Chain A
């Protein structure tokens, strides 16, 4: 692996260095407390009863059998919800429990929950609850919802959002036209740290503490409070260690159930999902069907794009409207485009609910536009690199939403730097069998293999959009010689806690930075999603530290009779530029008591109008991927050999962490390209286990060669852009394009299956 970032020689632990993780030692020793490692005295276990039917009316629920089992303490249903019966991030349309007389709308929808003394007792209790369903015919085809022939499966209707983008001159027609109907299967976030929450009720019975692995503490708390009908201040939500998220923890899963069981039983309750339940218990990536048509002049320059995108949001709204907007606003990809007609739908069906997953709608759009770019290249007689360079977006371009691209936009540079990365050596006749498609399955010899190369380039918006003020908050305390930072930013593995220390060390000139508990006893940090936390929570931590530094300078100036204006941090000293006096920060912070809480807001964005016009996104990041893939043409088995990438990161704040984000995202994009899909038939999930939902293993991982493009983003508080999502977006079509080159087929659907390649 290679990177162009050399060590800056700055103090270890500050911005730009590969600082150590504050949670690292605990994690390698097995002592880090994930939410599933939490216990309390007198604790009960909880478990959830779920509907097996994707669409059914509940006729009756009889819980008496559960209560008859020794060791069962509590059983709850919709009748036990004291407050709001439904929750949701955008529309509150999702029931805490499906109620008698109402319908369940997806296979796996919660109907009841129990608390008992042992997980096995819980299982027996669930088995003893008798639910009578009137099974109905599920609505599973989004087109039926759009056309209106499907019955309304919810009082709010079957359409979550319908949005058009009409831009420029829609009558323009290209000398070259290429089109395709692309399909993206349902991917799952499949984080390893299974859902778990521990709720501990207050002795007074009017509040609780809840420890949960989640992405947005304050949003969880709000929804819990609404459903429990207690004030938000009476709930302290503490972040339990998070074993990955990737979007699946943005929505409520077990939080309200756990809280309700705790309140009703008066005892601490822990619910922990197993893997199968986890597949049912969280939202997935939207499967989508996207028709796209590119019009270009005879040179290959894009003159218009038409698209129709249909996102299947499943049973409940979650973030579907926002996912759709992300998809359609990224129709043009990282390319100049003056004219566009885009029609986007996010619909409700009885399929599993879908919501946020790393990439958030852009993965789907990018698969379509990068598949199109391959066709356009062929039609224009250009190489994949040439067609993309010809059309590459630049800062100052007008986008199809009317917004002007004001982010740093080094698209051409990303492509050129990726192109400059050496190709891997060809497969030799005595190649190690583990590097051949099929691996130790011994299906192929090198003579059976053909190699293909493919490209994908993407744009991704950062932060929340359409007028949403997703601010963040941080608190910096300097007290008794100790610097402590507090925030509610969810650390999901991406390394924010490490970054927060790096910021504080850099701004304040200290080496030791303590981190307070991540909980709701400080203002909201917004969600750990949308590649936003480095920018937003990094900005908040920086602002809080700077505010604290100002107060420290005030104090030092007075105490040492110095001019306030001359004071600066240099390394670990406060230096007075005027007199040259130097005071070690560690000495300076003794005897002060400073406490600063700051919010960081990004510039406001706008709603989009009915033609999709509006400055709806905050900023953008770019990345190019080149994939080299070996294919067994007769068996359709695939091995991704190398991914080369140049990513627009603004500024590398932590080289090792940045590498980890890129490599990890690439693995997820690879999964979507060739092996990951939740298979749904008639509304039922066919493969809710790791046996049949396949994640890339060590033997599937390619070598990754990466370049960081560091053109500082002036709008970003740290100069850095979010880097979490871009790596998983264009790598999928890059791999698909490589397979297409080897195979010579259109392959319009991902994940590409062996039979797609060879039959």
Chain B
């Protein structure tokens, strides 16, 4: 067969170890663009299509955690139980490409490609996702912040692959927003995910498309925690939201490119931060 087809995770580990140069293929929505348009020449391909375990997901309510297989298509995250427990991920999933892309694209793909414009990545960063990696030397867990290390650079070692991603289920509010120049099928100009954990009294905000990696606006987050009570139902002072937005924007490191300007991107994440924070209080 031209494409190697493991039937389960163990076979996958084995065949990937035997073929460390091989490319893993799930939805193909990034890889096939490389082949079709950018002259990529496929050699050894390992299909993930029959490794059903990678499309599983489960909720461990005792640990308030949801674990999603790296091979689950985005379309399956938009509704149902997953959407209920991690609504920001459902919102991000809904903006990925088109319905056809969502039927094929996966978290594993987004993580494999590791583009700062990856739609799900700000959600993983804001929630503090754990990436479960399997390799020839066994399993390891990597925090998202340590997983994405640069533009299209992740910290996977040879013959390692992403098995699943775990996200905490938080009590509070979470939301995602993505700016694009038309109302469907856009690569994000700027994006943000904000999580307000009422139990812990924490707000986290992660930004996409405004730096070489997903940016957590740590300074703005700690300023916010000092400036206002995040636990209770007390209303949010609009000037606090505005200042939060300004500070978040300052932590972004966007560039100019043919899609947009650094100035606009910086401005946009500030607006998103302000609006998401305001929504988290209403």
A441 contacts chain B at the CB level, 8 A cutoff: yes
Closest to B78 in A: A440
Segment of B66-74, B148-156, B212-220, B259-267 engaged in the interface with chain A = B259-267
Which of A127, A681, A697 is in CB contact (< 8 Å) with B183? A697
A507 to B220, CA, bound (A): 76
Which of A437, A443, A694 is in CB contact (< 8 Å) with B272? A443
How many chain B residues touch A (CB < 8 A): the figure is: 34
A contact residues around B36 at 8 Å (CB): 274
B contact residues around A674 at 8 Å (CB): 181-182
B residues 74-114 in Cβ contact with A at 8 Å: 91, 94-95
CB distance from A713 to the nearest CB of B (A): 37
Contact B95 A759 (CB under 8 A): no
Which of B94, B181, B188, B189 is in CB contact (< 8 Å) with A440? B94
A439 to B37, CA, bound (A): 29
B residues 183-211 in Cβ contact with A at 8 Å: 183-189, 191
A681 to B257, CA, bound (A): 11
Contact A442 B175 (CB under 8 A): yes
A440 with B263: in contact, given A274-B37, A635-B268, A754-B179 (CB under 8 Å)? no
A residues 428-471 in Cβ contact with B at 8 Å: 434, 437-445, 448
A611 contacts chain B at the CB level, 8 A cutoff: no
Chain A interface mostly: loop
How many chain A residues touch B (CB < 8 A): the figure is: 40
A681-694 toward B: CB 8 Å interface, digit per residue (1/0)?
A: 10000110101101
Contact B182 A700 (CB under 8 A): yes
B contact residues around A445 at 8 Å (CB): 275, 279
A contact residues around B175 at 8 Å (CB): 442
A residues 708-759 in Cβ contact with B at 8 Å: 753-755, 758-759
A636 to B272, CA, bound (A): 12
Contact B187 A691 (CB under 8 A): yes
A686 to B37, CA, bound (A): 15
A residues 258-308 in Cβ contact with B at 8 Å: 274, 276
B177 contacts chain A at the CB level, 8 A cutoff: yes
Contact A439 B184 (CB under 8 A): yes
B contact residues around A698 at 8 Å (CB): 184
Contact A686 B184 (CB under 8 A): no
A687 with B258: in contact, given A443-B179, A675-B181 (CB under 8 Å)? yes
A contact residues around B267 at 8 Å (CB): 755, 758-759
Closest to A698 in B: B184
A442 with B176: in contact, given A635-B268, A755-B260 (CB under 8 Å)? yes
CB distance from B79 to the nearest CB of A (A): 13
CB distance from A499 to the nearest CB of B (A): 33
B136 contacts chain A at the CB level, 8 A cutoff: no
Contact B176 A675 (CB under 8 A): no
A178 contacts chain B at the CB level, 8 A cutoff: no
A637 to B39, CA, bound (A): 35
A691 to B30, CA, bound (A): 12
Contact B258 A759 (CB under 8 A): no
Contact A755 B181 (CB under 8 A): no
Contact B179 A441 (CB under 8 A): yes
A interface residues with partner B (beta carbon < 8 Å): 123, 127, 274, 276, 434, 437-445, 448, 634-637, 639, 674-675, 679, 681, 686-687, 689, 691-692, 694, 696-700, 753-755, 758-759
29 A–B contacts from the bound complex (CB under 8 Å): A123-B39, A274-B37, A434-B183, A438-B180, A440-B94, A440-B184, A441-B177, A441-B186, A441-B191, A442-B176, A442-B177, A442-B178, A443-B271, A637-B179, A639-B183, A674-B182, A681-B258, A687-B258, A691-B187, A694-B182, A696-B182, A699-B184, A700-B182, A754-B268, A755-B261, A755-B263, A755-B264, A759-B263, A759-B264
The 10 closest A-B pairs by CB, nearest first: A439-B183, A686-B258, A755-B264, A441-B178, A699-B183, A699-B184, A697-B184, A442-B177, A634-B271, A443-B177
